[in-house]
Amino acid sequence: MMQSYPPTEKPVVVITGSTGRIGSALARSLADQYDLYGLDITIPEEKLSWIQWLQCDLTSDESVAAAMSQLRETAGGRIASVVHLAAYYDFAGEPSPLYQELTVEGTRRLLDQLQRFEVGQFVFSSSMLVMKPAEEEGARIDENSPTEASWDYPESKLDAERVIREHRGEIAAVSLRIAGAYDEDCNSIPIAQQIKRIYERDFESHFFPGDLSRGQPFIHLDDVASSIACAIAKRAQLEGFTALLVAEDELLSYGELQDCIGKQLYGREWTTVRIPEMVARAGSWVKNALGEDEFIKPWMIEMADDHYPLDCSLAKRSLDWSPKRRLSETLPEMLRRLKEDPARWYEINGLGEPPTLKDEIHSPPARPVADVAADQPRAQG
């Protein structure tokens, strides 16, 4: 059943994955301007005055059809924008049929049903990881750069973009290729794992199997929401199919991010040296073979040199948008929350139990790794 509220004169916006982090932040930001409908596989018990939820399983033809019938009965046949956030994601890199059934076919099911409506716009949450990493020094990646999917998650996003082109009909579509999102509690798997290793003074945190001067941009959750809100506001000007890269201007290399974290936690840079890829692969394979809960998988090591210097000028021009936050400016608050309440921070970021010897953790190591490996080269920031 769908909760029912009196109709309004506001334009209708539908959000799939509306109870997720991005969906929740987006809905809050749009509440004053739009009549919001959220599609989710599970309807929250909490009832909010500014959004109506419809239960919808995007892996089922019948469920999507039923949800769309309910939407037509309640909201009518006109929709200003559909923001499609629901997708499958597994950072472990394991194959799953849900990449096809949810991310790809779920997008098709939704678009096929939307042909019964008058829809102004379809906004798809894609990923910057669909882009081929930059290879040449000084190169920039923009929307005309080649795409490349090296594992299941970005491959599913590229396949979903293809589905959108083929099934959108007359609906204008925008694919936002978004950088990794974070907020003041972190809520970013790669950043949280990097912080965890340094916070716990894991010896392996001093070693990296790739070029320390390479990296990828991130984007604050609020800026993700604002980019989508701007895309909705500009729906009349965005015709056909448009792909846009969305990220912060700041790109911290892996080495720079290590140093930022180390300075905030310990008051000094965190010495990191590069190790050969084969050594890293062997160590990761052994740990995983022994059943240890190791975040770094052998397949991740192959991408350690990937570099994503994104040029987001097209998104800025097309959406009249620009990011307001920077990861380097948010890290102090992120790490303050970690030190203030490690148990809460670990729980939010799915890291299990934090170490109990906090005094020992926050004391500087007796012998810097730079002394142990003084002959190893260090990347320039």
Q: What share of the chain is helix, strand, coil (3-state, %, to 5)?
A: 40, 15, 45
Angle at 229 between CA 82 and CA 79, to 5 degrees: 30
- Within a 10 A sphere around the Cβ of 353, how many other Cβ atoms? 9
| 45 band by pLDDT with thresholds 50, 70 and 90 | confident
Tell the CATH topology of 12-184+218-246. Answer: Rossmann fold (3.40.50)
Residues 253-277: what's their mean pLDDT?
81
Give me the pLDDT at residue 375, please: 29
Burial of 17 (0-12, 13-18, 19+ CB in 10 A): buried
Give me the pLDDT at residue 202, please: 84
Backbone phi and psi for residue 125, each to the nearest 5 degrees, phi listed first: -90, 100
Give me the pLDDT at residue 291, please: 46
Q: Kindly list the domain boundaries of the chain, sorted by start residue.
A: 12-184+218-246, 189-215+252-307+327-372
| CA end-to-end span of the chain | 55
Q: Specify whether the CB–CB gap between 255 and 212 falls below 8 A.
A: yes
Coil vs helix vs strand at 75: helix
| 209 band by pLDDT with thresholds 50, 70 and 90 | low
Residues 257-271: what's their mean pLDDT?
89
pLDDT in tens, 341-368: 999 999 999 999 998 744 444 444 433 3
- Within a 10 A sphere around the Cβ of 114, how many other Cβ atoms? 22
Of 296, 309, 321, the closest CA to residue 128 belongs to 309
